[in-house]
Structure formats: C-alpha cells, structure tokens
Chains A and B, each alone.
Chain A
C-alpha cells in the first residue's frame, strides 16, 4: 500500500503532551497517519500507546498539543465521525449477559452502515454462534466477537489497541486475517498497537515507536529494519573493549566474539569496526522483533562474564 499521498492525513497528532498529575507520560508527540496505511504503534508497556490512542479519539484530553481525526478536532468528534472509526480497546470487553446476537443488535443500532454479512463472516471465522452467551466465551472467541463488532460497521479508520493481547497463535492468526479483511478496500486505514512484532511485520506498512515517553521512530517497516544492523566480530583472542560510538545500541561479548547492534548505520561505523582488527565481520539480518528489542531494550554491553566485567 502506498503511503505517499496528497490527501490529508486521517490522523494528525500535533505536539501532543500528556501528564497524569505531575508525571509526564507522552512528550511532544507529532504523528501523521495517511489514508490507506496500516500503522503499527509500538512501544514497551507504559510508554503511552493506549493514552495516545485515547487522546486522538477524544476519550482523554491532551495536556498540551492537539489531535485531529478526519480533519476534525479530537475533543469534539461528532457522532458521524465516530461512526467512521472502528475502535477495539484492549481487554476485549463485551457485555457478558448478552448473547452474541444481542451484542450485534446492540452495536448495530448505533451504526447506520452496519454490515451484517461482515459481522456473520467474522463470527463464523471464530466459530461463534448467535445464541452463545458472551460471558461464556473463551478469550479468543471474545476477541473475535469484539473484532466482528468493530469491523461490521465498515469503518474507514480502524483503531486497535493491542488486539492480540493474550491470544493463542491460532486466534492471533484469525484476528490478523479478519483485520486484513477490512483492508480489502484501498482507502481503509488501520492504526494498531501491539507487542507482537511478527504480526506487525506481517501486516504493517509503517511503524511508530514510543520509547521513554518520546516518539523515537516513525518510518516504514523496511526502513526500520534497514537502519538497525547487527554485526558479529570474530577475534583470535578475547575481543577488545567495546568501542563507544554514536549509534551503538548494544553489544554482546563472549570469549572470541563481539556482537554489536547499531542504528542509523553509516560507512564511518564500518571503519570503527574494522579498527578493532577482527578476524571477520559478519552482518546478520534482524527480524523486526529482534530490531525492536535491540532498539528499545537496555543499552550497553552484555556478556557472559561474571558481573559483566572483562575477564582479563
């Protein structure tokens, strides 16, 4: 899907800052989501992903900054705009006392563009029947029901907050397939947060990474993977101390090897590595998950040696 478009963005977040009391949870976040994009919103727990989503949906107020959806101020989103947004909050909440059918009827009453076929298709995908009590569903089934309720109004913008949380691989795969079902129309936009990087890698066009309350990355999945490089340097003897240079994310030392992960790789970095005089330098391809973990994980050197100190 193309991300280059002249259309106004579906979601615009402008210098968003959010405090809870005196604790700053999001700092000066600016982000644009173009129409037709599948956007993965990544970050460790507590980095402000859910708060960001709630804020641009107008469910919470920004402390500073603003957000717009479909060009409308988030704080005053009218019902007509909300009808164009499918929102699946984390937790997959359903009213337990309703049957699956009643859940659909309740939801359908709010959406003029409700598509019963989509609803039933997703239910079938998750092996749900109309008479099942929502409170008796398994976690995966509940997620399926929630997804059906979210997809059936055929939203132009689908916002999913950690939709695969707690699901087994089969349910996750079903969820992804259903999610992609909605994007069969080119102008549909999906914005979703997730900790499951393999899912993100499978479906997302772009990702944004929140780390330490600040947006650290906003790019295509390919770009993200390209910018984070992993090298294994082999030595005859014990490797020398890890050099300190800009862009170094982490290093891992063993008795003959030094593994380095760097970001925003440049030819100057290669010179720095060669200056260590290794026997060989082997570049290793990283998955998105590996890249992400290196990117948002603990910085610095890791080793198998006692207390992380050089054995020499």
Chain B
C-alpha cells in the first residue's frame, strides 16, 4: 500500500497544489471583503459571509475535483485493468488511493485556512477581536469538503448511469452542505460530515470491490451505498419542497394580540385569513377607528417591550434556552457583538465578547486593542480582566445596561463612562430595558431606563438618576404572572405594566391563562386595571406540501423517533420530555394521522417495489427483501431501490418470446435454457478443443 500511496501522492500532487492556491486566494479575498453598503453586521473575520462562501463552496469544489481527477483519468479500460490486476487486493488499492487522496485534500484545504486563522488571530490585521469559536465554521466546511472528496470516489468508481447511484451519492454531500445553515451546533455538523464521509468511503470501497454489481459487495458497503443514495434522494426532495414553497404565496399569519392605544385603552387586533384586520375592545365589540386598522396603526399604539421572563423562583426555567433555540455556530454575533457606532466611525470600534464577557475596544488605525471594559470599568489592555457576571441589555443601546449581581450599571462607550445605577433596594434584578419617549414640549427624544427587581420596577433617566419606583400590583401572583411587559406613552406620563404568565409555565397553560394590564402614573398609583382574557391560539395553515411531506416520512425513522422520545422521556432526559408530551398528548391525533398515512403510502410503494423486482426476474426472497426495504423507507426507499439494485438486461426468450433476464440460466416463464449458438458447419476444432460442438460429439 505504501507504493500505492506514493504513486497517488506523486500523481495528484500538482492538482492539490492548484487547489491550495485557488482556495488560498478565495479565502483571503473573502476574509478581507467588506460589503461597502453594509459595513456592519457582516460577520467577524472568519465568520465573514464572503469568507464562509469561499470555505464552503471552495472546499466542496476542491474535494470533488481532487476525487474526480484521481479516479476518472485512470478509468480508461486498459489503465484500470492494469491497476486492478496488481497482486494485491482491491481493498489495498482503494485504501491507498483514498488515503493519499484524503491527504492531498487536506493539503489543499488546511493551509489556506490556517493562514487565514493566523491573520484573524493576530493583532494588526483586522478591526475585530478574535475568539477561538470563530474557527468552527471554517473547520466544519473542511470536514464537509471531505465528504465531497469521498462522494467523488463513489462517482468515479460506481458503474452504471451517471444519473443513477453515482449522482445521488454526490447529492448526499450537496444536501449536507445545504443543511449546514439550518444546523445549530458545530459538533452536529462535524458528526454529520464524519458519518457521511465514512458512508461514502464505504460505498466507494464497495464499488471498487465489485465489478459493478450491487449484490457482489460486502453487506456493509451495500448498506453504505443505500444510505448515501437515500440521503441524496431526501436532499433532492427537500430542495424540491423549498423550491415549491419559494414560488408559492406565503400563507397569511392568522392570530390575535393585545395592543394599547395612545389613549390607554387595551384592544384586540386580529389578523384574519382574508388578510383583513379586525379591531375589537376587550368585550369583543368592533372598534371602527381608522387609527388602529390602517398601515399607520403602529404609530398610534403604545410600544411595549418584554422586560422579564419571570419574577422569583425560576422553577428550573433558564431564559438562555429561549435564545439558544436560535443559536447557530456560523453567526459571529453569538461569539462577538459588534457594538453599533451608528456610522460615526469613532477611532475605537467596540465589541462585546460573549464567552469571556467583557468589552474590547480596537483602534481602527492600528487594529490593536486599546481599551477593555469589564465589571471594574474602562481600563487599558494587559491588566487582569474581571468579566461581567450578569445579564446585559442590547449592546446597540446607548448607554448599555449591565447587571452585576444585584446591581445595575450604565455603560456609555462613547463617553467612556461606567456608572452604577443608584438603588436602595438590594433585591434581585430580573431584567432591564431602555425606552425612548418625547419629553413634553421638548424636542427630540429622551429615554427611561427600567430595571425590574424582585420588589418592583425602578425607572431612571438617561443620566442614571432614579425617577421613581413602581411597585408590582399586590393582587397579582408574580410567581405565575412574572413575564412583565412595560410601555409608556409618548410624553412618559403614563406607564403600562402587563403581567403575563411566567415563562416557566407550560406553553399550553400560558396560552390558556389570562393576563393583566395596569396603567400607572409616575408616582406608582394604579390609574386603571384590566383583565386580558386568553386569546384564541394562532392557527398554522396546513399546506398540501406539508401533508405530502409527512405522508412520505420513512416509517423506520418516524416510528423510531416516536419510540426514542418515549424512551428518552421515561429516562428523564429533559429535552425529550417536552417532545414526548407534544406528540403523545398535545398532538396525539396528528401523530396517529401521520402514522396511518406513512404506513399506507409505504405499503403502496412496497407493492410497487415487489412488482418491479419480480418482473426483473429476481427470486422471491430477494424481491421480498427489497420490498421490505422500500416499506421501511417509503418513496425514498422505492427510488433508492430503483437506482441501486442490479437490474439485469432482459431479452426475448427464443422459445416463448417473453422477456427474460440475461443472467438467469432458465427462462422464468417457460423454464427453457439458452440455446447453444448455431453451428454453420465451418467450425474447426481438434481433439484438444473444448467447444459445445466437440463436447456433444464426445458425449
């Protein structure tokens, strides 16, 4: 194998170097590229979208081309025959090729990325900080590129139609690439890439071991090819569904919500299926006021913002889980928040580092860190960093609010001020927000800082001076109605506190529980109180695509998923308890409906598969095995069967004229064998010859 590796490395080294140069140019270009129309929020260095385009597309193309140039030129019949005839097993030849090719792929893909990594990680190159999490996306793209390399081996080694198993094996890698944007975690993508690479490796190995027939391969490589092709088919199906959805008009959102008018009246605004909007009071009486139905209605409403998820005992609820649902390892703002400078191009660009929990200021000219902000305030780099311990408001807020234990701080990066908000109340903080308003008779806008403590809401002005404290409504159980929304009118003379069910309550219970709204003045006196009855649950439209997609679920995966949730819930796995509750209780009728449809469709396709198999002359046992496979994987299984199975050529039987497979010794219809070739009397055979003619003569 050593010589095979040496030969492959020498033979294809030039292509790897070419790919390395191409990738290096593309990645460096992507790293330095900035969209001039949108200089902010473009992603930080290694997560710059252009850089990621280079790594995702570039590595995929490099992997694919390196695999193809390694196999296809050598596939000319005489060359390939010479290669295969060497006195080593085909497995050794394949492993030598695959190992060398993989090394060459790494040679092409890794150095450019390492160079970009070095550029991003060392000061003086970018007005951007570096955290190790930035490398995940590029690394995952290298892993995914490897799947393209192994897919290329399948494309090169698999016999048969280009539009059959070989193309769909390649599409499995394409599908993985497309799935990356929807996958949240690096480790999940890495696992997926490694598993798919192993599957494609095994599928290519099987193709190498056989002379083209599926059934001559080891069972593991057969399973691998089936898995790769099935995944590719699922990918094509998924992409087709996306395309269909893209060209269709989106279904309108149907649902209702509470709003507060500038007059302080709570109203219900309903979005109807016919795209109309209905406004009613709390009793359901229609309100015919153009201010609340037209396009300008937002200007006539009190803007509310959620301040807390809960007050008091969390009951095990972690607010970070809410936001983690949207986490994606390819988005830089999960690691680094670029703090908005509103185009002012200050000499220092500020960033909040989510992991280490401090703010770093980078000088735009020298591209080095010049300031650090941590819980001790502003200081020069090089000193020990004391990270923030609590929550913070949005870093786009000016000033930003930072929590440190039971204290809140106001951080003004422009003025480089870090000020503690004064409070005589040491009770825990559960949230804070900034609210803008127009001062009465004044110009422009001012702001109010609202800090939600255990005991009440503290309101501060923009200078950090305490304006007032609004106690919570004593008649409301804050443990259950701790998700608090706050709003104020334009002149900041009336404040609105809405008590909605706490986030720790189950979602269904939250939907069925009423809420309460208090209008209070600056002294904290409750002016009006309202009870807000639960609104009807928003309806989610059912489309025929969704119906069809769910009908075509693989029974194997669908029933395993249901069982997995049941087992997981029984074992007490937190994430699966909710899932189990959803499918086995809340949504049980849909689970039954999907299960029924899945079984019916799968049975139908299994019957088609069985008919195909028998008509192709397959023995009952093999035909039934394929039918079972199709049943397990529904339409995807049927298509996989069509693309992967050995379909022998069929020719008319010389005796009964019905089509019979050329591989079978007897006709399945009339049991006749194959006739011996016609002899025309001109044959020349001597006594040592072994021909049908002489055999007959001898007999």
**What is the interface of chain A, defined by CB distance below 8 A to chain B?**
3-4, 15, 17, 19, 21-22, 24, 27-28, 30-32, 34, 50, 54, 57-61, 63-64, 75, 79-83, 85, 87, 89-91, 93, 95, 97-98, 105-106, 109-111, 161, 206, 209, 213-220, 223-224, 227-228, 246-247, 249, 263-264, 295
Contacts and interface: CB of A to CB of B under 8 A. Distances in A.
A220 B686 contact: yes
B685 A217 contact: yes
A98 B86 CA distance: 17
Contact of A19 (B649, B681, B685): B649
Interface centre among B3, B82, B212, B685 (most CB of A within 10 A): B82
Given A82-B85, A83-B87, A28 B676 contact: yes
A31 B690 contact: yes
Given A93-B82, A98-B10, 8 more contacts: A24-B651, A57-B81, A59-B84, A79-B86, A79-B88, A81-B87, A89-B78, A264-B684
B509 interface: no
Interface in B85-111: 85-89
Interface string B323-365: 0000000000000000000000000000000000000000000
B81 A87 contact: yes
B85 A85 contact: yes
B85 A218 contact: no
A178 to B, nearest CB: 18
Interface of B: 2-3, 6-7, 10-11, 76-82, 84-89, 211-213, 216, 649-651, 662-663, 665, 674, 676-677, 681-686, 688-692, 695
A209 B663 CA distance: 25
11 contacts: A22-B649, A22-B651, A30-B690, A34-B688, A59-B85, A61-B212, A82-B87, A218-B684, A218-B685, A218-B686, A219-B688
B674 A28 contact: yes
Contacts, number: 137
A31 B2 CA distance: 38
A24 to B, nearest CB: 8
Contact of A30 (B85, B650, B695): B695
Nearest to B10: A97
Contact of B81 (A28, A64, A89, A247): A89
Nearest to A21: B649
Chain A binding surface, main DSSP class: mixed
B85 A19 contact: no
B662 A64 contact: yes
A3 B79 CA distance: 33
A89 B82 contact: yes
Contact of B688 (A85, A206, A209): A206
Contact of A27 (B10, B86, B677, B688): B677
- 3 nearest interchain CB pairs? A83-B87, A218-B689, A91-B78
A90 B6 CA distance: 25
B96 to A, nearest CB: 11
Contacts of B692: 15, 28, 30
A168 B211 CA distance: 35
Contacts of A63: 662-663
A17 B81 contact: no
A110 B79 contact: no
A263 B684 contact: yes
A81 B81 CA distance: 16
Contact of B662 (A22, A58, A79, A97): A22
Contacts of B685: 217-219
Contact of B85 (A17, A28, A57, A209): A57
B87 A263 contact: no
A110 B11 contact: no
A106 B3 contact: yes
A93 B79 CA distance: 6
B211 A59 contact: yes
Contacts of A217: 683-685
B677 A28 contact: yes
B216 A227 contact: no
A213 to B, nearest CB: 8
B82 A110 contact: no
A81 to B, nearest CB: 8
A22 B650 contact: yes
B688 A19 contact: no
B216 A218 contact: no
A4 B687 CA distance: 10
A64 B674 contact: yes
Contacts of B212: 61
B618 to A, nearest CB: 16
A249 B682 contact: yes
B309 to A, nearest CB: 66
Contact of A110 (B76, B87, B663): B87
Contacts of A58: 211
Nearest to B686: A219
Contacts of A209: 684
Given A61-B216, A95-B7, A264-B682, A87 B85 contact: yes
Of A59, A75, A228, most B-chain CB atoms within 10 Å:
A59
A109 B86 CA distance: 10
Nearest to B79: A93
A20 B77 CA distance: 14
A98 B81 CA distance: 19
A218 B692 CA distance: 11
B640 to A, nearest CB: 22
Given A28-B674, A61-B213, A63-B663, A219 B684 contact: yes
Given A4-B688, A216-B684, A219-B689, A64 B10 contact: no
Nearest to B6: A106
Contacts of A90: 78
Contacts of B682: 216, 247, 249, 263-264, 295
A223 B86 contact: no
B11 A95 contact: yes
A4 B689 CA distance: 11
Contact of A87 (B82, B216, B649): B82
Nearest to A51: B77
Contacts of B683: 216-217
Contacts of A206: 688
A53 B80 CA distance: 14
Contacts of B686: 218-220, 223
A54 B85 CA distance: 10
Contacts of A3: 688
Which residue of A97, A218, A228 has the most chain B CB atoms within 10 A of its CB atom? Answer: A218
Contacts of B82: 87, 89, 93
Contacts of B650: 22
Contacts of B695: 30
A246 to B, nearest CB: 5
Nearest to B676: A28
Contacts of A61: 211-213, 216
A91 B79 CA distance: 8
Nearest to A20: B649
B674 A106 contact: no
Contacts of A215: 691
Contacts of B689: 218-219
B32 to A, nearest CB: 37
B510 to A, nearest CB: 65
Nearest to A78: B89
Most chain B CB atoms below 10 A, which of A3, A63, A213, A246: A63
Specify which of A15, A34, A228 lies most central, judged by the most chain B CB atoms within 10 Å of its CB: A15
A219 B686 CA distance: 5
Contact of B681 (A75, A224, A246): A246
Contacts of A110: 3, 86-88
A91 B77 CA distance: 9
Given A83-B87, A110-B86, A32 B651 contact: no
B100 to A, nearest CB: 14
B85 A106 contact: no
Contacts of B86: 79, 82, 110
A227 B662 CA distance: 35
Given A95-B11, A97-B11, A59 B81 contact: yes
